[in-house]
């Protein structure tokens, strides 16, 4: 870029910079001086740890209105503010569209309202509108809120009608892998915490049934979770609970409906399967147990040998009474219905 400042303007800017106590204003002055020296927008942005679009806006504002306008508080460019109605519209728009980049939203604001915001100004604006930058939560795309509500009503009816000797279990499998899972933890500010990891892909296959009333779990570890291993778990439950109907709540895995299990159920009428709605893992309470198990065994825990990992995993279930207090508050029948959000990606 060619020099564009007159000598007296350059001297005035340098004087203003020496007298400037606030960094954000000093950076704007430095941006103009660096551009006058011949640096382009990208080079100045790298010097000042800003983005090139911000530097471009500084330059355009200086050329248009001089240093006084450039040093106004809450500088945004063509127009300083969105009005109340525009802010309301922007709030609704940002809720309906998942923006990952503040520049994308700045472009939308300029295109829609003719107002130029820097990326930093957009971030401040979003904070004022109570937005925070975080990952969205993944939910099943085909979840049906109506079906989920119907299941909860049926579950409540089952609890009312069952006899004292009847049991209710939530059944599912989990496949913990022999590798550490990084999780949040308290780390000294400004420091990094490294965790050892494994390169193998060995895993354990655990099938389990959780009794919500007794806060107990029956598990078995097999080479795979299929019809045969599920029948073996059914037999464990029947032996452990010789009286009453065993209501087994589970998902729609194909092996639950295969001929092998169908024939087994014909000869074992005390097993009463109850199917969850499709795409509704949120309704299977044992999923919370699996999450709790991982927090205790795999999160931030390194096991050099697979045998040690397997031993720790099985020990968790053997000594599950040690976690009874924590599980009692976690494993409640406070079901959460997942609505399918309608969010555009841009």
Instruction: Give residue-wise pLDDT tens across range 170-184.
Output: 999 999 999 988 888
Name which of 124, 133, 3 is nearest 59 in CA terms.
Answer: 3
Is the pLDDT higher at 1 or at 49? 49
Instruction: Tell me how far apart the alpha carbons of residues 280 and 145 are, in angstroms, rounded to a whole number.
Output: 9
pLDDT at 76: 46
**Residue 306 in 3-state DSSP?**
helix
pLDDT at 346: 47
What separation in angstroms does the CA of 10 have from each of 13, 16, 33, 63, 90?
5, 10, 7, 13, 40
For the segment 71-92, what is each residue's pLDDT rounded down to a tens digit?
765 444 444 478 888 889 999 9
- The percentage of the chain sitting over the pLDDT mark of 90, rounded to a whole number, equals 45
Q: Strand runs (DSSP E) across the chain, as ranges?
A: 167-174, 205-211, 216-222, 246-250, 271-275
Instruction: Tell me how far apart the alpha carbons of residues 171 and 189 are, in angstroms, rounded to a whole number.
Output: 42
Cβ contact 56:41 at 8 Å:
yes
CA 87, 90, 91: angle at the middle one, nearest 5? Answer: 85
User: What's the whole-number average pLDDT of the chain?
Assistant: 87
**4-8, 208-212, 263-267: least confident range:** 4-8
For the segment 107-125, what is each residue's pLDDT rounded down to a tens digit?
899 888 888 888 888 888 8
Report residue 141's pLDDT band, with 50, 70 and 90 as the boundaries: low
What CATH architecture is 145-183+198-330? 2-Layer Sandwich (3.30)
Q: Give the tokens for residue 267.
A: 């000869």
Instruction: Tell me how far apart the alpha carbons of residues 45 and 28 are, in angstroms, rounded to a whole number.
Output: 11
């Amino acid at each position: 870029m060619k020099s564009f400042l007159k000598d007296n303007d350059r001297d005035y800017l340098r004087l203003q910079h020496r007298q400037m106590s606030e960094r954000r204003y000093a950076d704007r002055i430095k941006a103009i001086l660096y551009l006058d020296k011949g640096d382009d927008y990208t080079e100045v942005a790298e010097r000042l740890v800003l983005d090139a679009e911000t530097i471009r806006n500084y330059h355009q504002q200086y050329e248009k209105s001089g240093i006084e306008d450039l040093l106004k508080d809450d500088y945004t460019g063509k127009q300083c503010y969105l009005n109340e109605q525009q802010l309301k519209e922007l709030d609704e728009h940002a809720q309906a569209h998942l923006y990952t980049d503040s520049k994308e939203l700045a472009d939308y604001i300029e295109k829609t309202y003719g107002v130029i915001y820097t990326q930093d100004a957009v971030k401040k604006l979003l904070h004022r509108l109570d937005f925070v930058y975080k990952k969205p939560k993944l939910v099943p795309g085909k979840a049906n809120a109506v079906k989920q509500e119907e299941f909860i009503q049926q579950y409540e009816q089952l609890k009312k009608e069952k006899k004292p000797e009847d049991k209710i279990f939530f059944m599912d499998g989990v496949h913990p892998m022999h590798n550490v899972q990084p999780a949040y933890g308290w780390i000294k500010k400004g420091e990094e915490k490294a965790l050892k990891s494994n390169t193998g892909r060995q895993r354990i296959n655990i099938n389990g049934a959780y009794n919500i009333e007794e806060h107990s779990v029956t598990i078995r570890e097999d080479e795979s979770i299929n019809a045969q291993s599920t029948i073996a778990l059914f037999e464990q439950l029947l032996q452990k609970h010789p009286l009453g109907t065993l209501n087994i709540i589970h998902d729609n895995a194909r092996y639950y409906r295969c001929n092998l299990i169908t024939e087994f159920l014909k000869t074992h009428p005390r097993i009463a399967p109850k199917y969850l709605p499709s795409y509704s893992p949120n309704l299977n309470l044992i999923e919370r147990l699996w999450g709790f198990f991982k927090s205790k065994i795999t999160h931030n825990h390194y096991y050099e040998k697979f045998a040690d990992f397997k031993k720790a995993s099985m020990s968790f279930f053997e000594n599950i009474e040690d976690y009874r207090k924590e599980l009692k508050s976690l494993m409640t029948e406070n079901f959460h219905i997942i609505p399918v959000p309608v969010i555009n990606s841009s």
